[in-house]
Structure 1
């Protein structure tokens, strides 16, 4: 399945499951009055709303390149993730407020505890399956929006467990545990929002990728038998993808055609890395030793044997 179809299918699956959970938890809340279940109903409703945003956002990000966006629309994905974070923060705030009000009112009774516990247990299992599904698809298709969705589902597993503990505590006669569980749910929701914002800021501000990815970029350039050194490597995120520029050293007596072939081979090798989008290669005649003029980290020459020569 191609990336477009896969991302859209995941978005629709997540939306459908969250809508069903919101309806089920909402119905149980109206029947039992459990603050923990009500908190989870609000959480699932927020999940359904942001899932709708994700579906719309993934539709936009999977559109093909056009004259206005020649590199495609994938860079919209971090903004979709931030919308997810806003919904998560709003849900967390509402749940925390409800929990505090219920605690001040003296907690909840254990009425219909089995019904409340059942819907929370089903919700936890559903969220675990969604977490595994979204995490796998996010890794397969390098999607920050799906990664944010996976993180939210992971937090939902924990918050459902906390809510379940509160319901069981209330059923055992400890009514204050129900709103306390609601407060734990709220804190878990808010922490998930922080995680989503933190993870996506790097995509928006052009941060460098991991050291492992940068090392792989250098290794692929050096793998070409005509490349004698690599320097001035700059890799940074543009949306969820990485743009790369680097200088490679080749023998200065190569013809223009030969140099072009070397450049093309290096660009192709680096572009084959899943996270990489654009690659810009500058050719330096090895005899000029331009790398020596830079100094510092960017002035290091990476030789074929993996050693470095500092200026």
Structure 2
């Protein structure tokens, strides 16, 4: 499936689940507030406010679906997935603010017994209906979240479940109040507030960690490193970095290959590593691989060595007497361990003493290491 088609299906799923959630939560909000007032239950009214928060987050998801699934462009080369992350932070903040308001009101009622309400049995029925409705929304939304790897849908699913759990607390609190423990209704509202705050904090904090490019957990990173090390042609792995982008992961890594490998073979190995990583984990959507002939994680011993144009200029200077034997375009340079190792391919086969002289002259340059000589006969 193409990335464009996958993004389109993801957008449809996000909008569909948010629309279903919005309709259900609108009905629950109205029902809980009305019957909370009629049935004199502070806990049910608080739960109605929670459902109103659920409704607002459903609307967030609906709008986020439109923008977060847009394809990458020149200004956003990694796509727009973090719009979803920002909405998830906003969702968490809404939950926390909601919980503070409920907790404040509950505390006032617990400290002033005259403000306590006396619930009626109708509240139990509404709370039970809320439990069934929100657990159904949780299951429905979580299936879509897992299928499309959406952190925002997952957060919204847990929001639905938190409403279901808060309704369970309401059910218990109201039942206790009906049995004579009048403070239990307000206490249940305070417990609901705590639960809402906890879920809101977890969702917001996880998304903030993503926004500041927190890497994958140590177990996942270790698995990725082990997988790469076992690929044919890879001699080492270093500078492995990971980050999240919406519901996806991005990996960039340096891999060490044979130090005298050709550029094309090194590229072929890197593409093979990239393919295996993408196939191994559906969450990984982008992999950048840097090829190294040596481990440069701590230091790069070859960083101050001269580039090709300067090296050839120096070689022409020391080889000027025998330059007729050489095709300077056939000089291959290998930057390793703080030295430049040279491979020379002759256009003609010089006398042994000539090639030996050329090797000695090249090695007069302080940065030159091993010099290898190849002539037409040796290439046949």
TM category (shorter chain) comes to 0.7 to 0.9
Q: How many residues align?
A: 290
Aligned to 1:171: 178
Q: 1:156 aligns with which of 143, 163, 174?
A: 163
Which sits farther off after the overlay, 47-56 or 221-230?
221-230
Shift in CA distance, 50/290, structure 1 to aligned 2, threshold 3 Å: closer
Aligned to 2:118: 109
Under a length normalisation based on structure 2, what TM-score does the superposition of the two structures give?
0.70
State whether residues 14 and 61 of structure 2, in contact with CA within 8 Å, keep that contact through their aligned partners in structure 1. no
Q: Which has the higher contact order (CA 8 A, sep 6+)?
A: 1
SS in structure 1 of the partner of residue 282 of structure 2: coil
Q: Determine the C-alpha separation between the residues in 1 that align with 2:263 and 2:217.
A: 34
State whether residues 109 and 173 of structure 1, in contact with CA within 8 Å, keep that contact through their aligned partners in structure 2. no
Aligned to 2:46: 39
1:1-311 map, 5 Å: 2-103=9-110, 104=112, 105-111=114-120, 113=121, 115-272=122-279, 273-285=281-293, 288=294, 290=296
Shift in CA distance, 185/290, structure 1 to aligned 2, threshold 3 Å: closer
Instruction: Quote the offset at 1:33 in angstroms.
Output: 2.3
State whether residues 238 and 295 of structure 2, in contact with CA within 8 Å, keep that contact through their aligned partners in structure 1. no
Q: Determine the C-alpha separation between the residues in 1 that align with 2:292 and 2:50.
A: 56
Shift in CA distance, 174/106, structure 1 to aligned 2, threshold 3 Å: farther
Alpha-carbon deviations, 1:187-244, whole Å to 9, x = none?
1111221111222122111111022321232233234312122122122234543322
Q: Determine the C-alpha separation between the residues in 2 that align with 1:6 and 1:279.
A: 26
State whether residues 204 and 239 of structure 1, in contact with CA within 8 Å, keep that contact through their aligned partners in structure 2. no
State whether residues 106 and 176 of structure 1, in contact with CA within 8 Å, keep that contact through their aligned partners in structure 2. no
Shift in CA distance, 289/51, structure 1 to aligned 2, threshold 3 Å: closer
Under a length normalisation based on structure 1, what TM-score does the superposition of the two structures give?
0.85
Q: Determine the C-alpha separation between the residues in 1 that align with 2:48 and 2:213.
A: 37
SS in structure 1 of the partner of residue 287 of structure 2: strand
Alpha-carbon deviations, 1:103-154, whole Å to 9, x = none?
312522243x1x2111111111222222233333323322111221122223
State whether residues 244 and 279 of structure 1, in contact with CA within 8 Å, keep that contact through their aligned partners in structure 2. yes
SS in structure 2 of the partner of residue 283 of structure 1: strand
Instruction: Quote the offset at 1:156 in angstroms.
Output: 2.0
Q: Determine the C-alpha separation between the residues in 1 that align with 2:20 and 2:226.
A: 39
Q: Determine the C-alpha separation between the residues in 2 that align with 1:65 and 1:246.
A: 22
Which sits farther off after the overlay, 184-193 or 133-142?
133-142
SS in structure 1 of the partner of residue 292 of structure 2: strand
Instruction: Quote the offset at 1:291 in angstroms.
Output: 6.2
State whether residues 250 and 284 of structure 1, in contact with CA within 8 Å, keep that contact through their aligned partners in structure 2. yes
Shift in CA distance, 253/161, structure 1 to aligned 2, threshold 3 Å: same
Stretches of structure 1 that go unaligned for 5 or more consecutive residues are 295-311
**What is the root-mean-square deviation of aligned Cα atoms in Å?**
2.2
Instruction: Quote the offset at 1:22 in angstroms.
Output: 0.8
State whether residues 234 and 256 of structure 2, in contact with CA within 8 Å, keep that contact through their aligned partners in structure 1. yes
- Runs of 4+ with deviation above 4 angstroms: 288-294
Shift in CA distance, 290/40, structure 1 to aligned 2, threshold 3 Å: closer
Stretches of structure 2 that go unaligned for 5 or more consecutive residues are 1-5, 301-380
Q: Determine the C-alpha separation between the residues in 2 that align with 1:190 and 1:250.
A: 50
| Bigger Rg, structure 1 or 2 | 2
Instruction: Quote the offset at 1:6 in angstroms.
Output: 1.9
